[in-house]
Amino acid sequence: MKTIDDFYFKDKKVLIRVDFNVPLENGKVIDSTRIRSAVPTILKILQDGGACILMSHLGRPNGFEKRLSLIQIKSVLDNILAIKSKFCEDCIGKIAKEASDKLSMGEVLILENLRFYNEETKGDELFSKKLSELADCYINDAFGTAHRSHASTTVVAKYFEKKFFGKLLEKEVLAIKRVISNGKRPILAILGGSKISSKIPIIENIIDKVDDIIIGGGMAFTFIKALGGKIGESIHEDSMIKKSLSILKSAKEKNTKIHLPVDVVCAKEFKEGADSKVFSINSIPDEYEGLDSGPKSLEKFKQIILSSSTILWNGPVGVFELNSFSKGTKEIGKAIAESTKKGAFSLVGGGDSVSAVKKFKLEKDVSYVSTGGGAMLESLEGKILPGISALAK
């Protein structure tokens, strides 16, 4: 892995693919986490005496759309870095080239939204080449899009001799390695969420790499039904019944323990404030559906979490968006925080568990919170991300 610490960027113009795809409300950035995550890489270049040309996508525009202009990010970045960056209204072509030529060392230039050109997502060669003509070196620091073979994330890399992992990309890759390749044992994966089908490739990839797997949330019910339990109206996927039995069999053969819930908080209606009752996981009455982990399950899961040295968490163990059914997910998050305090390494990654950790304000109490949803999931599935392999070529 060629990281930016291996190079001195003095007098170099550096094209950096960042992930500034941040949520906006009325033109205001409402969560600047992704912008802050790019700062260590930007600072390294500036401190070395180089110049940064930042490129990113924002949303899914259809051609030019003012509401998705990256100009909206400029003041936030300027405040964080305490600088006055420059902005170019295009990302390629004459004005982008002129803006790059005029850029002095120590300065930062933000290019306009890459996805105003559909060549970006198509991975167009000519578009990639034009981007590459703006700088001397290339850094990819956008983990959130590293699973895409887009122009700025993958194709552009081949036009550079000097190309590097940014600090964020490096951190993300090392965090995944620290769980899957060289994690301290016992290693635990906690998987939840609603759709078992989307998590099967992850289970299959990690089953012989971890010691324990907790399966919670909606996806547990397919396993329970497969084992002959009565799950009432709970969410499940009949097409995955066979698969879940084969996973249980394979886990046994590989000496990996799979832990399923033993009880569950159920309601007749999927809504905030609905009357709830706890049932044993195997005997949910017909008119009820399981919406959160029950107290006995939580106790069992907590013991496992507290005795693990490495923990991966992907997916909530209940409908955490509704306060009435958020207790289980919150308790799991708190137990992971406690285990981390005792010395465990914990990685929270992939969409909803990240939202849950933020909702319960536990971000600082776990070892690492991934910034990339899809990219994290594909990494956990064992895929080599195109944005990462492009840097190695």
Judged by the rule CB under 6 A, the positions of this chain that interact with ligand AMP are 192-195, 198, 217-218, 235, 290-291, 315-316, 318-321, 351-352
Residue 354 CB, nearest approach to ligand AMP (Å): 11
CB 257 within 8 A of CB 291: no
- Which of 140, 353 has the CB closer to ligand AMP? 353
Strand 263-267 relative to strand 289-293: parallel, antiparallel, unpaired?
A: antiparallel
Q: Pick the catalytic residue from 12, 13, 17, 34.
A: 34
Packing angle between helix 295-306 and helix 327-341, nearest 10 degrees? 20
Residue 147 CB, nearest approach to ligand AMP (Å): 16
117: its two tokens = 């050109």
Residue nearest to ligand AMP (CB): 193
How many Cα atoms are found within 13 Å in the side-chain-facing hemisphere of 31?
A: 10
Q: Pick the catalytic residue from 230, 268, 296, 374.
A: 374
Residue 351 CB, nearest approach to ligand AMP (Å): 6
Q: Pick the catalytic residue from 192, 333, 351, 387.
A: 351
Q: Pick the catalytic residue from 97, 195, 209, 296.
A: 195
Helices (H), 85-157: 93-102, 119-122, 125-132
Q: Which residues contact 161 (CB under 8 A, 6 or more apart)?
A: none
Neighbouring CB atoms inside 10 A of 296's CB total 15
What phi and psi, each to the nearest 5 degrees, are found at residue 295? -60, -40
Neighbouring CB atoms inside 10 A of 185's CB total 10
Specify the amino acid at residue 127. Answer: F
- Which of 61, 328 has the CB closer to ligand AMP? 328
- Which of 349, 386 has the CB closer to ligand AMP? 349
Residue 257 CB, nearest approach to ligand AMP (Å): 21
Residue 305 CB, nearest approach to ligand AMP (Å): 18
- Which of 169, 267 has the CB closer to ligand AMP? 267
Per the annotation, the verdict on 334 as an active-site residue is: no
- Which of 45, 214 has the CB closer to ligand AMP? 214
Q: Which residues contact 94 (CB under 8 A, 6 or more apart)?
A: none
Taking alpha carbons only, the member of 290, 298, 297, 317 closest to residue 193 is 317
Helices (H), 234-351: 241-253, 295-306, 327-341
Per the annotation, the verdict on 195 as an active-site residue is: yes
393: its two tokens = 């070529």
Taking alpha carbons only, the member of 231, 228, 237 closest to residue 198 is 237
- Which of 373, 387 has the CB closer to ligand AMP? 373
Residues 32/74/139/368 CA torsion (nearest 10 deg): -10
224-227, long-range: CB < 8 A, 24+ apart: 224/260, 224/261, 224/281, 224/282, 227/282
Residue 219 CB, nearest approach to ligand AMP (Å): 7
Residue 34 CB, nearest approach to ligand AMP (Å): 20
- Which of 21, 314 has the CB closer to ligand AMP? 314
CB 311 within 8 A of CB 347: yes
Residues tagged active-site: 34, 195, 351, 374
